[in-house]
Amino acid sequence: MVKITVIKTKPYTDQKPGTSGLRKRVTVFQQNQHYAENFIQSIISTIDPAQRQEGTLVVGGDGRFFMKDAIQLIVQIAAANGIGRLVIGQNGIMSTPAVSCVIRKIKAIGGIILTASHNPGGPSGDFGIKFNISSGGPAPEGITDKIFQISKSLQEYHICPELKVDLSATGKQIFEVDTFKPFTVEIVDSVESYAEMLRDIFDFAALKELLSGPNHINVRLDAMHGVMGPYVRKIVCEELGSPANSAVNCVPSEDFGGHHPDPNLTYAADLVSAMKGGEYDFGAAFDGDGDRNMVLGKHGFFVNPSDSVAVIGANITSIPYFQKTGVKGLARSMPTSGALDNVAKALKMPLFETPTGWKFFGNLMDAGKLSLCGEESFGTGSDHIREKDGLWAVLAWLSILATRKQSVEDIMKDHWQKFGRNFFTRYDYEEVDSDAANKMIDHLQTTMSDKAFLGQKFSSGDKTYQVEKADNFEYTDPVDGSVSKGQGLRIIFSDGSRIIFRLSGTGSAGATIRLYIDSYEKDPQKIYQDPQVMLAPLVDIALRISQLQEKTGRIFISGLKYMYGPKSFGSDTNFVFCKVCCFSICRLFFHMFLWYTKKTMISISYILKAFIGKKSNLYSSLWHAGY
């Protein structure tokens, strides 16, 4: 008989879940007494006691440091709180999309995912705990607010400290727990249920022909030492026939091989380099927990995430699932470019604009209003589950290649010719002093609320923009009427161009200011222009209006984020940022210094750190792109 122990504790005031759960440095979970236990108890306390005994929770994670320790705590606390059954991925491994899939398949009451997504891992990295509800989607604000309120007043938690489970072997483990019915822990194959779902969505015979037939294409998929390794090997290599060496970095690692598991042009630089060689026709990378993806074509042709979801939308009938279910609607997060809007308009489909956070798509899906959605942060998915899904997006692209028999680049160029092009970029200012970040946002709000701001004209270079609308994005859910305020400051100009500022909720320390620039161009003669040149005037205007540099003390580095088109690759130099360094003399001199010295990225990072006395994301800023 396993005994239940009641542990006295003190509440923490900083356990407010962000858009994807609670994320902190690993050391916060390790060094603050009962920190993880408090949050796990707060999650379970939101579940109605009447549901617990007959209910099942699904548990899995991305393999990062502290995951297995956290899973044991979840087992012990779940047992002590009357949860009847846990389903856990073998060795604790289960991708975020797979957790959503399993929750829906077995009709679980929810799931707990141990991940900090694309954030770095290891003992000095980040850790996260996320709660998904019975639909398989992230907990909505009503539940995350409740978790936070409980965490702020928690005085005790219940735990079975002697209960230990073996995560390595599949099968059931049953425990007799004091005062409750037997407690069951079932360790399951992490991949099979998810693979079964994908077989029902895609034409695996056509994909197998594409990847291993007589005229097969060559692909390279980078799992970045995250959770996706076993999924890529099983589904793409073993089942669809792609050679084993087409999948790299497939062994999950607690520190992601010492790398940052973020699928962008910065952190997946090895993949970019391999693709630029011309050996591979299609490339993709996945983040730590498998819900984000980056798509590349031959010679490193980059598909930005906003364009990716738009192309899938325009070719959605290439996927058998949508031939059966039909297409109910399309959606994007507010900061994501308007590329998907153009598709929705042309195809006469409903288009929803939501705040950042996948949970906002869930209500629309559950109400039968939404089939396909995406975010600029490399997240793409559909109503097959209630999470973004990296491998689903890759198979969607491969389905389009199989149907159209064109290259990624040709498909993308055809898309721009038909729908026009949204030039788009994002800049991140990470770990900014919170007070300074809030002062900048307050200043910007004050500026935007001035009646004289509407209609005001701003010029940079040979471009002039007139403000047509300025607001703090507010979203009213069309399903339940719930209102989400303060979702991002928007300046919209008369030509449809947008400047957006947000404080992000996915970091683990300090504040992250995100700046987004979006500008539409339909002139066929201009759609292949260098995005750096096309967006430079708006970047300059954004910095002037916000006074970001003055308010935060951060020096603007051109940090060109995943906005490159075909002309950007194949350059003789690694530094492709020089075209937008004309905004100020200081900036110009600094860029020239970087250009001519060609120092290593690490050396430059040290120089900049010494120069501004703050953390720099210079490697991210200069190595092609990324965020």
Residue 377 structure tokens: 């942060």
Residue 286: partners with Cβ closer than 8 Å, 6 or more residues away = 221, 222, 223, 224, 226, 228, 232, 263, 292, 293, 390, 391
Q: 386, 459, 458: which is closest to 105 by C-alpha?
A: 386
Q: Are 388 and 302 in contact (CB under 8 A)?
A: no
Q: How far apart are CA 347 and CA 343, in angstroms?
A: 6
Q: How far apart are CA 246 and CA 238, in angstroms?
A: 11
Q: Are 65 and 122 in contact (CB under 8 A)?
A: yes
Q: 619, 616, 624: which is closest to 430 by C-alpha?
A: 616
- Confirm whether 117 is a catalytic residue: yes
Counting Cβ atoms within 10 Å, is residue 117 exposed (0-12), middle (13-18) or buried (19+)? buried
Measured CA distances, 202 to 199, 340, 345 (Å): 6, 22, 26
Which of 20, 42, 100, 117 is labelled catalytic?
Answer: 117
Residue in this structure with the two tokens 């991940």, named with its chain if needed: 115
Does residue 241 sit in helix, strand or coil? Answer: coil
CA 558 to chain centre: 22
What sign results for the dihedral spanned by CA atoms 570, 573, 577, 578?
Answer: negative
> Which residues are tagged catalytic?
117
